[in-house]
Structure 1
Amino acid sequence: MTAAKSAYPVPVDELLPQARDLATELGRTPSRNQLMTTLRIGAPKAREILERLAEETPAKASNPAGLHVVTEPTQTHDDNPADTQSESTEVEPMAESEPVPAEESEPVGGTVSEPITAAADPDKPADDQAVKSVAVWPVMLLALPAFVAIWSGWVGLGQLTGFGIVHPLPGIADGFAINTAITLPIGVETYAAYALRVWLSGQVPPRARRFAKYSALGSLALGALGQIAFHLMKAAGMTEAPWLITAAVACLPVAVLGMGAGLAHLIKDNHREVQR
C-alpha cells in the first residue's frame, strides 16, 4: 500500500481507499495513530476516517477482538505539517491509562514510606561513607605537660624582662594585684592555637586562611624562641634579660592584639560577602 501524497489538505474521500487497504492488511480496523502515521494526516482527519470505516463495516466483522473506537473531544487544528508532527505523538485511544513508573507507584501496604537509604557498602571508598570521628582526649593528655612547661617558661621570661606584680585598680581595690607575666603565655600561645584552627578548618576565605597560616606559624616560632631564651638565661644565672630580648618581649602583647583583630576582621568580612 502506498502512503498518501504530501499535498495539503487531502480530502477524506481520497484517503478512504488507502484506509480500507490498511484495514485489509491488518485484518482489523486500524487505530488512529496508525492512520496518522501511515497516511500522514492529523488527528481530526484520522477520527473522521475511523467513523467512516465504522459506518461501512460492522463492528465485529472489522474488529474481531471486540475493540471499539474511543472518540475524543473535537479540537480545532489546522492541517499543516507542524500539527501533523505534534499530533503524531498522541497516545492511542486503547492506551488511555499508562503504567505508572515503579518509583511513582504507591508503596506496598498503601502507606507512604520514607526514602530508603542504601546501607554502607564496605567495598566503597571511605569518603563515600560516614567517617567516624577521631577521639580528642589524647590531644588534651599531650597538651597538659606542654602547657605546664610553656606557662612556666613564659612567666619566667616575663619576670626577666620587667613583667611582674601590678595593681590594676588603684584607689578602687588596692588589695587586688596581678602578675602581668601571665599575659605572655595566654596571649601568644592562645592565638597560635586559634590561628592554627582557623587555618586547618577550611571554612574561611583564602585571605583569612593565608593570614591565619603565617601568623600561626609565626606565633609558634616566637613561642619556641621565647622558651629557648628563657632556658638559656636561666642556665646562665642571669637575673635580667638583655635589652633586645626585653624590647621584643614587651611588644608581644601588642602584636598578639593586632593579629587577633586582623584575623577576626578577615573572617567577618568573608561572612558578609557570602551573605550578599
Structure 2
Amino acid sequence: MTTAKSGYPVPVAELLPQARHLVTQLGRMPSRNQLMTELRIGAPKAREILEHLADGQRVKAANPGGLHVVTDPAPAETEPAETHDDEPAEPERESAEAEQVTESEAVPAEESEPVGGAVSEPITVDADLAKLADEQPVKPVAVWPVMLLALPAFVAIWSGWVGLGQLTGFGIVHPLPGIADGFAINTAITLPIGVETYAAYALRVWLSGQVPAKARRFAKYSALGSLALGALGQIAFHLMKAAGMTEAPWLITAGVACLPVAVLGMGAGLAHLIRDTHREVQR
C-alpha cells in the first residue's frame, strides 16, 4: 500500500483508516518505520498514529466480545395463585429468587465467559509500544561499492559510444561560429551522456516507488528500452571494429542519429509525469 506525496501535509484523521487497514493486513501493530514507509509520513506523525491505534486496542481489550448489559424487563403483575395452605407461597418464591441473584452476583467477572463460549486472548499492547519505542531507524546500505563496480563498465561504454559515433558521422564541430571560433566539441560524447545517463536515471525513478503510477510505468519501459539500445550500440561498434570498417552502414547511421532526439523526448515526458503528483492512476 502506497500513498502519493502531496504538497500539503495530510492530517492524522485521514491517515488513521489507512493505518487500521495496515494493521488488518499485518495481523499486528505495525512499527514506526513501517508507517513512515507505507504512509509517506515523518516520525512525529507516525508516533501519533501509533498512540491512536494503541488506544483503540486498549478499548477492544477492555471489552473483547463487545458485550453490553441487558436488563430484564419488569415482570408483569399477575394475580397470586390460590393455595389451600395457611401460609402464602409468595415469600418462598421471593426468597428463592433472592438466592439466585446472590449466586449470580457472587461469580467474579474473570470467570464469566463471553457470549458464544469464545475465550478472548489477552492483548499485550504495552509490550508492543515498548518494542516500538526501542526501535531505531535502519541505517541505509552504502552505495560506494556499486560506484566502484560501475567504473570499469562506464569506461568501456563511453569508449564504445564515442567510437560508434565517429563511425556514424559524429565528430568535431564548432557550435559558436562568429562568437567563439576556437571553441570546438566532439559530438560523439553526446551518445553516452544521453542514452546511458537517461537509462540510469529512469531506472532510479522506476525503483524508488515515490512517483505516480503512470510515471513509474513510463520510467520502467523507457529504462529497459535505453539499456537495450545501449547493448545493441556496443555490439554494433565492436563487430564493425573487429571487421575493420571505417564507416557504419546507413541503417546503423540512421538509428544512431535518432538517439539524441529520442532521449530528449523521453526525458521531457518523464519530467512532466514526475511532477504530476495531483493525480495518480492505480491499476
User: CA offsets per residue over residues 80-102 of structure 1, 9 Å max, x none?
Assistant: xxxxxxxxxxxxxxxxxxxxxxx
Rounded Cα–Cα distance in structure 2 between residues aligned with 1:249 and 1:187: 12
Map 1:106-255 to 2 at 5 A.
118-120=133-135, 130-255=137-262
Rounded Cα–Cα distance in structure 2 between residues aligned with 1:190 and 1:211: 16
Using the TM superposition, give the Cα deviation of residue 118 of structure 1 relative to its aligned residue in structure 2, in angstroms: 2.8
Residue number among 260, 264, 274 corresponding to 1:267 in the alignment: 274
Rounded Cα–Cα distance in structure 1 between residues aligned with 2:205 and 2:152: 24
Map 1:59-138 to 2 at 5 A.
118-120=133-135, 130-138=137-145
Rounded Cα–Cα distance in structure 2 between residues aligned with 1:237 and 1:193: 32
Q: Specify the code of the residue in structure 2 equivalent to 1:148.
A: V
Q: Specify the code of the residue in structure 2 equivalent to 1:262.
A: G
Rounded Cα–Cα distance in structure 2 between residues aligned with 1:242 and 1:119: 65
Rounded Cα–Cα distance in structure 2 between residues aligned with 1:213 and 1:195: 7
Using the TM superposition, give the Cα deviation of residue 5 of structure 1 relative to its aligned residue in structure 2, in angstroms: 9.7
Structure with max Cα Rg: 1
- Segments of structure 2 that go 5 or more residues without pairing to the other structure are 1-73, 77-128
Rounded Cα–Cα distance in structure 1 between residues aligned with 2:185 and 2:166: 13
Q: Specify the code of the residue in structure 1 equivalent to 2:278.
A: R
Which secondary structure does the structure 1 equivalent of 2:151 belong to? helix
Using the TM superposition, give the Cα deviation of residue 119 of structure 1 relative to its aligned residue in structure 2, in angstroms: 1.9
User: CA offsets per residue over residues 49-82 of structure 1, 9 Å max, x none?
Assistant: xxxxxxxxxxxxxxxxxxxxxxxxxxxxxxxxxx
Q: Specify the code of the residue in structure 1 equivalent to 2:253.
A: T
Q: Specify the code of the residue in structure 2 equivalent to 1:166.
A: V
Q: Specify the code of the residue in structure 2 equivalent to 1:118.
A: A
Which secondary structure does the structure 2 equivalent of 1:176 belong to? coil
Which secondary structure does the structure 1 equivalent of 2:247 belong to? coil
Which secondary structure does the structure 1 equivalent of 2:175 belong to? coil
* C-alpha RMSD of matched pairs (Å): 2.8
Give the TM-score normalised by structure 1: 0.54
- Segments of structure 1 that go 5 or more residues without pairing to the other structure are 7-114, 121-128
Rounded Cα–Cα distance in structure 2 between residues aligned with 1:147 and 1:119: 43
Give the TM-score normalised by structure 2: 0.52
Rounded Cα–Cα distance in structure 2 between residues aligned with 1:5 and 1:229: 98
Rounded Cα–Cα distance in structure 2 between residues aligned with 1:148 and 1:193: 15
